[in-house]
Amino acid sequence: MKAFIDIGSNSVRLMLYENGVTIDKFVKVTKLADGLFSSGTLNPEAIKRTAEAVDFYVKKAVSEGADKVYAFATAAVRQTKNGKEFCDVVLKDSGIKIDVVSGEAEAKLGLTGVLKGKDGGIIDIGGASSEIAVVKNGELVYSYSLPYGVVKIKDACGNNYFKTDDFTKEKIKEYGFIPKSKFYGIGGTATQIAAIALKLAVYDRNKVNGYVLTENIVKAVIDEVNGKTMEELKAVTGLDPARADVILGGAVMLKNIMERIGVSQITVSEDDNLEGYAIIKEEENE
């Protein structure tokens, strides 16, 4: 069995994987990108709690029987001035060398994990970046990594709907023309919106996987979370309390991306860049 750790801008995730099958997934919200929008650097507390989460998952993976542990990091580490410092802390504490992936590579990981060679598109709204990519006739026809995600949106706009709506509409202009396709939503924003819509008191990845998010469902979730205090948000059924401060920004971003592409629905996928990374490593015979 192999283990893969995704060090994201909002959370750290562990996947246990064997013979092409995901055995289990675990997540800890650490908000590595907290304050990155204003400072351009990872703050010491964010580095500490994220490195501790990585170390916890390395030990968990070994205790579960993993004979190899891989770790990769995305936008928060590649965008910041002190990303190497974070990688050095993890290497010292856990003995794990982090693979810092580019925005283009991150989109490829998502495509590989979701589509597995088929045609389609992905929308991945992360903590410090948001990727959209499309494959048609087996060829990559569009891929773009926007350097804004839910943690950066929260830092810029707080929990103000109108500021968030204006901010995200302006930023997503950078995507330019996006080809239409059957789109899949991956990452915490899509899965959390699905969990809220499904009113899951206990998260169930089998119910979330394949759930269709229509424009109306996304707007209904925005209406449900907009205007609530943090305490009220933490009580919303289906919402991970640790994501309460970023759910509005993520949902508004998704609404505006769907409107820009001109799609009325997307399908949520539990398979994502973790599976993509595992598949690529298998192809490399690692």
CATH number where 6 lies: 3.30.420.40
* Residue 125 shares a structural domain with residue 232: yes
Q: How many CA atoms lie within 13 A of 113 on its CB side?
A: 29
pLDDT of residue 286: 66
Q: Quote the domain boundaries for residue 72.
A: 2-100
Q: Kindly state whether residues 67 and 141 are assigned to the same domain.
A: no
Q: Which helix (H) or strand (E) holds 151?
A: helix 150-157
Q: Half-sphere exposure (CA, 13 Å, Cβ side) for 220?
A: 12
My answer on whether 44 and 166 are in the same domain is: no
pLDDT means over runs of 10, the chain (286 residues): 97 97 96 90 96 98 97 94 96 97 94 96 96 97 96 95 98 97 97 98 97 99 98 97 97 98 98 97 84
What is the predicted pLDDT for the residue at 37? 84
* Number of structural domains in the chain: 2
Q: 270: closest CA among 197, 200, 190?
A: 190
Q: What is the pLDDT of residue 196?
A: 99
